[in-house]
Structure 1
Amino acid sequence: MKILAIADVESKYLWDYFEKSKLEGIDLIISCGDLDPRYLSFLATFTSAPVLYVHGNHDDKYERIPPEGCICIDDKIYVHEGVRILGLGGSMRYKPGEHQYTEWEMRRRVFKLFPKLVWRRGFDILVTHAPAYQLNDARDLPHQGFKIFLQLIEKYHPKFFLHGHVHMSYGRQHKRYDKYMDTYVINAFDRCVFEFETEDPEKDGQ
């Protein structure tokens, strides 16, 4: 399964210089947040692949301009061709606003998902906006990651953890690829294509 992960900035490669052939072979598109809803709707128009998304901390406009033809997976386990995908959008709370959470509030969201996690026997891909604590995050509160994400990885051992929020343009400490235990970590900033079946997304990714 070939997956296109996107986040934070609208890719000029996919929007300004779009050609339908660029989406050929893509089986699933996953947005990790902070993207123009019209960009997601645009992509959904030109592919038969599902376009999934979680909210970023700047996505309050989705209430007024929803991404047409796309599927919100926040607080859900979405299953595509047998692959279980858990969505937990939002960032650490640093000011009043939508889609921002304290560590305790994010833990409460995860607790409410427990029956679904038991029913689905875990998940294969964790999709968030914020990174995990001390795993490709930053020390300032707005870009600090959540500890509960590490605990989810430690307990359920998903194959992939996709996030956005920390732009790779911020500095070289924010990597595209990482690994925590058995889980491959991908920063979806801009765009990244990978195979779910891969043994090394950094080697095979685009």
Structure 2
Amino acid sequence: MRILVVSDEVEPHLYGPGAFKLQSTTDVLISCGDLPFYYLEYLASTLNVPSYFIFGNHGFELEHRADEIAIAHPRVGTNLHGITINEHGLLLAGLEGCMRYNPSAWFQYSENDMWLQALNLAPRLMMNRLRYGRYLDVLVTHAPAFGIHDQPDRAHTGFKSFLWLLRTFRPRYLLHGHIHVYNRNQVVATRYHQTDVINVYPHRVIEV
């Protein structure tokens, strides 16, 4: 299975004819957040594949269209936050947002808040183990895990609760965005216990 994962930045070559070149080789579309709805809708409709998303921290929680109708989510796709999905045998789960740095903002969490989100997800993962023999294949987040690809400022600090999820439930992949990559020497893939942690900014193709 080939997954197109996008995050944080609209890429002109994908928001155009380049997307058509991926039609025959893409099975699933996943967004790690901070992307406008029109971009996700274009990719999902062009690729004609199942699509999943979580919210990042830079708005798009409410968009206004030319017809002045406000919507709170893309018109296509499934919000993965706090749930698990079996997509043709691929077990997916997601957690939105980043570390809280603005008290009035949406989709920002304290470390304790995210621990609660992680603990709420745990029973669903244990049910996966009973039904499918494993907890999870892909954990989709916006923010990174603490100490893996994160940065020292509060807005870009990763969550320690993600480390616990990786150690306990052993997904094959943690896919995240949020950390923009401007240096080719910047580390974007790290092995943590049994999980490959990958910063997908601005897109990656993952073969599972």
Give the unaligned 5+ runs of structure 1: 197-206
Q: Deviations over 1:89-119 (max 9, x none)?
A: 1000000210000000001111222321221
Aligned to 1:49: 49
Aligned to 2:107: 99
Q: Deviations over 1:2-32 (max 9, x none)?
A: 0111100011220144351233210111100
CA shift for structure 1 position 156? 1.1
Q: Secondary structure at the match of 1:113?
A: helix
User: Separation in 2 of the partners of 1:194 and 1:113?
Assistant: 24
Q: Secondary structure at the match of 1:167?
A: coil
Aligned to 2:179: 166
5 Å-filtered alignment, 1:15-94, equals: 15-62=15-62, 64-65=70-71, 66-94=73-101
CA shift for structure 1 position 175? 2.3
Q: Is the aligned partner of 1:136 residue 2:143?
A: no
Aligned to 1:117: 125
Letter in 1 for 2:109: Y
Q: Secondary structure at the match of 1:61?
A: coil
Equivalent residue pairs, number: 195
Aligned to 1:4: 4
CA RMSD of aligned residues (A): 1.6
Give the unaligned 5+ runs of structure 2: 64-69, 130-134
Question: After alignment, is 127-136 or 7-16 more displaced?
Answer: 7-16
User: Separation in 2 of the partners of 1:59 and 1:80?
Assistant: 27
User: Separation in 2 of the partners of 1:27 and 1:62?
Assistant: 28
Q: Secondary structure at the match of 2:144?
A: coil
Q: 4+ residue stretches of structure 1 with deviation over 6 A?
A: none
Q: Is the aligned partner of 1:188 residue 2:196?
A: no
Query: Quick one: percent identity of the two aligned structures?
Result: 35
Are 2:118 and 2:162, in contact at CA under 8 Å, matched by a contact in 1?
Answer: no
Q: Deviations over 1:40-93 (max 9, x none)?
A: 011111122111101000134346342111111111111111111110010000
User: Separation in 1 of the partners of 2:154 and 2:127?
Assistant: 34
User: Separation in 2 of the partners of 1:100 and 1:174?
Assistant: 25
User: Separation in 1 of the partners of 2:81 and 2:32?
Assistant: 10
Change (3 A) 1:19 1:48: closer
Question: After alignment, is 24-33 or 14-23 more displaced?
Answer: 14-23
- TM-score normalized by the length of structure 1: 0.89
User: Separation in 1 of the partners of 2:87 and 2:114?
Assistant: 25
User: Separation in 1 of the partners of 2:94 and 2:30?
Assistant: 10
Are 2:36 and 2:60, in contact at CA under 8 Å, matched by a contact in 1?
Answer: no
Change (3 A) 1:51 1:193: same
CA shift for structure 1 position 173? 6.4
